[in-house]
């Protein structure tokens, strides 16, 4: 009898672990993304969001890091810079370790980190939903973001060139929101998030058949909260 119960529990756990992630219904997105900012992650936006982030329990990097590297005695500006650089370098290494997969890249921009994911690396081919591969990639990203939580996150969607610029912006925002909802449902605080759809702006490849697949992407820019 006990063996049958144990087998039943193991079976249920196995089924649950194999269940593929599905984006919640669109009408619930506003609830999942309450606290997120639907705007560019500008310096002004970060300054305005900082007290909200802290009010929700967010901690600044100097509060998180116990051991401070390469400290110059008495110089707070230099000490803080070394602290942020070291923190973000460790985060970059962690992201490299888990995102060595086709269609994803991790890039450094000063103290910021940019994670690029082409659409095919996160979404189904013919329907606008997170794919099994996307579940794996975004799940790995969420784990690192959860560990390095003294950061703001800009989630920006992009499309290839489209005649209807309004449709392009709407499609790019849809991609960004789907990624944001995924992260929110996997433990990432929305008080860290800026969400934006940039349409066909800032292409990173030619607008030919191969280039279009690259230009359809989501970029996650990660910056320390200061």
Within-domain flag for 31: yes
Within-domain flag for 29: yes
What are 112's two structure tokens? 């910021």
Q: Which residue has the higher pLDDT, 62 or 31?
A: 31
Within-domain flag for 19: no
Quick: pLDDT tens for 17-55.
Answer: 557 799 999 999 999 999 999 999 999 999 999 999 999
Rounded distance, CA 199 to CA 157, Å? 7
pLDDT of 189 reads: 98
Within-domain flag for 7: no
Within-domain flag for 2: no
Residue 66 has pLDDT above 90, yes or no: no
Residue 211 has pLDDT above 70, yes or no: no
DSSP bridge pairs for 130:
123
To 10 degrees, what angle do helices 132-147 and 76-98 make?
150
Measured in whole angstroms, how far is the alpha carbon of residue 27 from the centre of its chain? 21
Q: What is the mean pLDDT of residues 63-84?
A: 68
Residue 224 has pLDDT above 70, yes or no: yes
Within-domain flag for 68: yes
Band (207; pLDDT cuts 50, 70, 90)? low
Range 89-99 burial, b when 16+ CB lie within 10 A, else e: eebbebbeebb
Question: 83-87, 123-127, 151-155, 177-181 — which is least confidently predicted?
Answer: 123-127
Let me know: does 216 contact 119? Beta carbons within 8 Å. yes
Percent of the chain with pLDDT strictly greater than 70:
82
Within-domain flag for 74: yes
pLDDT of 14 reads: 46
Contacts of 101 (CB under 8 A, 6+ apart): 121, 133, 137
Give burial (CB, 10 Å; 0-12/13-18/19+) of 50.
middle
pLDDT of 68 reads: 58
Q: Which residue has the higher pLDDT, 198 or 67?
A: 198
pLDDT of 173 reads: 97
pTM for the complete prediction? Answer: 0.87
pLDDT of 2 reads: 53
Looking at the structure of the chain, the number of domains it has is 1
DSSP bridge pairs for 204:
none
Q: Which residue has the higher pLDDT, 189 or 81?
A: 189
Quick: pLDDT tens for 130-142.
Answer: 999 999 999 999 9
Most confident of 13-22, 52-61, 195-204: 52-61
Residue 86 has pLDDT above 80, yes or no: yes
Whole-number average pLDDT of the chain: 87
CATH of the domain at 168: 3.30.1330.60
Within-domain flag for 1: no
211: domain range?
24-224
Residue 91 has pLDDT above 90, yes or no: yes
Quick: pLDDT tens for 119-131.
Answer: 999 999 888 899 9
């Amino acid at each position: 009898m006990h063996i049958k119960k144990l087998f039943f529990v193991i079976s249920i756990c196995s089924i649950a672990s194999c269940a593929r992630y599905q984006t919640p219904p669109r009408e619930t997105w506003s609830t999942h993304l309450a606290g997120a900012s639907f705007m560019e992650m500008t310096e002004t936006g970060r300054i305005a969001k900082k007290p909200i982030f802290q009010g929700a329990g967010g901690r600044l990097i100097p509060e998180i890091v116990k051991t401070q590297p390469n400290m110059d005695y008495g110089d707070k500006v230099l000490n803080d810079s070394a602290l942020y650089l070291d923190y973000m370098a460790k985060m970059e290494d962690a992201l490299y370790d888990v995102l060595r997969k086709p269609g994803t890249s991790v890039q450094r921009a000063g103290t910021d980190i940019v994670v690029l994911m082409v659409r095919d690396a996160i979404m189904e081919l013919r329907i606008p939903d997170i794919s099994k591969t996307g579940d794996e990639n975004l799940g790995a990203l969420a784990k690192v973001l959860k560990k390095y939580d003294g950061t703001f996150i800009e989630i920006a969607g992009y499309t290839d060139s489209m005649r209807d610029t309004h449709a392009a912006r709407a499609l790019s925002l849809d991609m960004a929101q789907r990624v944001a909802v995924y992260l929110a449902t996997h433990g990432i605080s929305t008080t860290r998030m800026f969400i934006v759809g940039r349409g066909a702006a800032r292409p990173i490849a030619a607008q030919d058949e191969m280039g279009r697949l690259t230009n359809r992407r989501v970029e996650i820019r990660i910056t320390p909260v200061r």
